[in-house]
Structure 1
Amino acid sequence: MYKIFLLMIAVGLPLSILGNFLHWPVVMMFIIFSLTIVALAGYMGRATESIAIHTGPRIGGLINATFGNAVELIIAFFALKAGLITVVLASLTGSVLGNLLLVMGLSFFVGGLKFKRQKFNVFDARHNSGLLVFAVLVAFVIPEVFAQEMGARDTFTFSVGISVILILLYLAALFFKLVTHRGVYQSDHAEGAGHDEEVAEWSKGKAILILLLATLAVAYVSESLVHTFEEVGEAFGWSELFIGVIVVAIVGNAAEHASAIIMAYKNKMDIAVEIAVGSTLQIAMFVAPVLVLVSIFFPTQMPLVFTLPELIAMVTAVLLAIVISNDGETNWFEGATILAAYLIMGIGFFFL
C-alpha cells in the first residue's frame, strides 16, 4: 500500500504545483489535490507510528493523539481562513460520522467475514462511550439549544468557553489513559495474549523529518484544495454541506480508514476500534475546539453551533456505536448495520 502512496506523492505533488501555476481545470485539480493528500496522510501516519515506538507508549500516545487528525485540522484551518464556516462544521460532522460509522462499520464487516466472532477491550469501549456522550450529546447539542436564546456575540463567547473545557477534559482523558490508569483495565483476551516487542520502521530522526516534510506538503496542497470547493460544488451539484460531511471527511481520513480495516482483518480489534473511536474523540474534543479558538483571529468567527441535520446525524451515530460496541465483541452483520446507517445519512446530506 505504501509503495502506491509513494508513487501518488511522486506524481501528485509536482502536478499540484504545476497545475496551480498553469491554472489547469478546477475539477481535475480537485482530484489531484485529494489523491495527493490521501497519500501524504498515509506517510504521516507511518512516520508517527515510528516516532511513537522510539519515544515509548506514553509520549508516543500523545504524539499519535496530536497528529492523528492533522490532515483534517490543516484542511479545516484553510477553509476557516477562507470564511467557509459551513464547510468546516460539515467536515467536523463528516469526521465523526466517517470514523464511527464508515471506519468502524467497514472494520467490523471485513474482520467479521474472516472471523465469526471478534473481541476487543470492553473497558476501553465503555470508557470511550462516556466521553462520546459528553463530547457530542453535551458539548455539541447544548450550544445549539442555548443559541436559540442568545445573540451571535454571546453564542460565540459561550462556544469559546465550551472549547476550553473540551480541550482540558481531552488532556485529562489522555493523562488518565496513558499515565494514571495505563494497563489497569485489561480485557480477558488481552491479558492472555503475548505481546511482541515492536520495532520501529524508521529511525527517530528520519521519522521526524518525513513527518515535518509531509505536514508542510499537506498544508500547501490543502490550501489549494480549499479554493476548488466552490467550483467543484457547482460542477457536480454538491452543496457545501455535502462537500464537508462526505468529501473532505473521506479525503482527510482515507489513510486512517485503511489502517483500521487492515487491523480488523488481522484480528487486532483493540487497535481498529481505538482508531475509529479515538479519532472521533480527537475531532470532537480537540480539533473542533481548537478551530473555534483559532477563529478568534479571523474576520469570520466560528461558533460551535451545527445545523439540526448534522446534530441528529452525530447523535444517532454515537448512540448506534455505543449500543453495538459496549459488549466488547462484534461480527460482520453488526458492521453491515453500521454501514447501512452511514449510507442513509450520506444520501440524506446529498439531497440537502
Structure 2
Amino acid sequence: MQQALVTLKVILLSNYINVLLVFVPLGIVAGMLHWNSTLVFVLNFLAIIPLAALLGFATEELALSVGQTLGGLMNATFGNAVELIVSIVALLKGEIRIVQASMLGSILSNILLVLGMCFFAGGLRYQEQSFNQTVAQTMSSLMAVATASLLIPAAFRASVPSDETTELLDLSRGVSIVLLVLYVLYLYFQLKTHADLYSEQESEDDEQEEKTITAWTAGGLLVVITLLVAFCAEFLVDSIDALVAASGISKTFVGLILIPIVGNAAEHVTSVTVAYKNKMDLAVGIAIGSSMQIALFMTPFLVILGWIVGQPMSLYFQTFETAVLFISVLIVNYLIQDGKSNWLEGALLMGVYAIISMAFFLYRPEDGL
C-alpha cells in the first residue's frame, strides 16, 4: 500500500501541469450530463492538457524499459497520441473539417510557435546556439515532401474541376500509402542505418534517463490515460458544433489553433525548457520531428482509416491552407539551414504564427471537402 502511494506521488508530481487533473472528472461529468456546450468544451479542453503530459511521462518511462530501438519507435508512435485520438474520434463522427484543421494546426504550431519559442528562449540566455544541421535538414526535407503531398491534390482539384470526389479520394489514398512507406523508411534511417547522427541528441538527455516507475506501472498508466483521453475527446468533439454556433468562430479555427494547444501543451513546455538549457538538438528534434510525424504518419493514417470506415477523408486542403503550410515550411527551411539560431529568428517564427492565427480567426471556409 505504501509503495502504491509512493508511485502515485511520483506520477502526480511528474509535471506541474498535473494540477489541471481536477478538470478530468469535471469534464466527463459535464459531458455525460449534457451541460452547456461551451462549458463542456472548456472543461474537456483543460482536462486533456494534463492527460497529454501524463501520456508523455508514461511513454518515456516505458521506453526506458524496452531498450533504445524499441523505445525510439514508441516515442515516435505515441509522441502525438492526443492529437491522434482526438482526430480519430472526430473522423468517426464525420467531422472531416476538424480532422484536417487539427492536423495542419499541429504542424504549424510545432514548426512556428514551438520552434520559435525554443529559439527565442535559448537566445535570451545565449547569443547564438548550434544544433545538428544534418538531422534538422533531413527532417525539414521530409516536411517539404509531405507539403508537396498536400499541394498535389490541391493542384489536381484545381486542374480537374468536378463534382465527383472519387478521383481525388483515390489520389489521396495512393499518396497516403507512399507517405506511410516513407515514414517507415525514415524510422529505419533514424534507428538503424544512421543512428550515429542522433547519438548527440540522445547523449544530451542521458542525465534524465532514470526509471522512476516500473514498466508494468507505466504500461497500465498508458492504457488508463488513453481511455480517459478518448472519453474527454469525444465530449470535446461533440460540443464543437454548438460552440461554433454560439461563438461565431469557425470549425477551422477551433481545429487549427485551439485543439493543437491541447495536445502539444506539455510538449511545448519540454521543448522550451531544454532549449533554455542549451540542448538545441533535443529541442529542434521535438519541434520539427513532431511536425514530421504528423505529416508523414498521422495524416496519411487518418486518410486510410477514413477509407476503412467509409469517411471521405482526403489530402485535399483549401488553397489558403496549403499556401500557408508551404510558406511556413519554406521559412523554417531557410532559418535552420545554417545549423544556428538566435532570439531574433525565434521572434520571426512566432510573428509568422501570430499572423497566421489572426488570418484563420477571420477565415470562414465552407465545411466539408
Q: Same-fold call, TM > 0.5?
A: yes
Q: 1:126 to 1:48 in 2, by over 3 A?
A: same
Range with bigger deviation, 21-30 or 236-245: 21-30
Q: CA deviation at 1:192?
A: 10
- Give the residue type in structure 2 aligned to 1:33: N
- Per the alignment, residue 311 of structure 1 pairs with 322
1:167 equivalent to 2:169? Answer no
Q: CA deviation at 1:268?
A: 1.0
Deviations 1:21-52 (A, max 9, x none): 32221111111101110110000001111122
Q: 1:194 to 1:258 in 2, by over 3 A?
A: closer
Q: 1:316 to 1:210 in 2, by over 3 A?
A: same
Unaligned runs of 5+ in 1: none
- Give the residue type in structure 2 aligned to 1:258: V
Deviations 1:301-337 (A, max 9, x none): 1111000111011111111111111111101110000
Unaligned runs of 5+ in 2: 1-12, 364-369
Range with bigger deviation, 32-41 or 196-205: 196-205
After the TM superposition, which residues 1-352 of structure 1 pair with which residues of structure 2 at under 5 Å, given as runs? 2=14, 4-9=16-21, 11-136=22-147, 138-148=148-158, 149=160, 151-184=164-197, 196=207, 198-352=209-363
Deviations 1:255-288 (A, max 9, x none): 1111111111111111110111110011000000
Q: CA deviation at 1:186?
A: 6.8
- Give the residue type in structure 2 aligned to 1:154: E
Q: Give distance in 1, aligned partners of 2:205 and 2:248.
A: 52
- Give the residue type in structure 1 aligned to 2:177: V
Q: Give distance in 1, aligned partners of 2:198 and 2:88.
A: 36
Q: 1:244 to 1:191 in 2, by over 3 A?
A: closer
- Give the residue type in structure 2 aligned to 1:159: S
Q: Is the 8 A contact 1:123 1:186 kept in 2?
A: no
Q: 1:220 to 1:142 in 2, by over 3 A?
A: same
Q: 1:73 to 1:194 in 2, by over 3 A?
A: closer
Deviations 1:48-101 (A, max 9, x none): 111222222211110001001111011111111111111111111101110000
- Give the residue type in structure 2 aligned to 1:121: N
Q: Give distance in 2, aligned partners of 1:36 and 1:19.
A: 12
Alpha-carbon RMSD across the aligned residues, in angstroms, is 1.9
- Per the alignment, residue 10 of structure 2 pairs with none
Name the SS of the counterpart of 2:210 in structure 1: coil
Q: CA deviation at 1:249?
A: 1.5
Q: 1:117 to 1:82 in 2, by over 3 A?
A: same
Q: 1:192 to 1:225 in 2, by over 3 A?
A: closer
Name the SS of the counterpart of 2:211 in structure 1: coil
**Identity across matched positions, percent:** 39
Q: Give distance in 1, aligned partners of 2:165 and 2:76.
A: 32
Q: Is the 8 A contact 1:123 1:185 kept in 2?
A: no
Q: Give distance in 2, aligned partners of 1:101 and 1:32.
A: 27
Name the SS of the counterpart of 1:343 in structure 2: helix
Q: Give distance in 1, aligned partners of 2:41 and 2:313.
A: 25
- Give the residue type in structure 2 aligned to 1:145: A
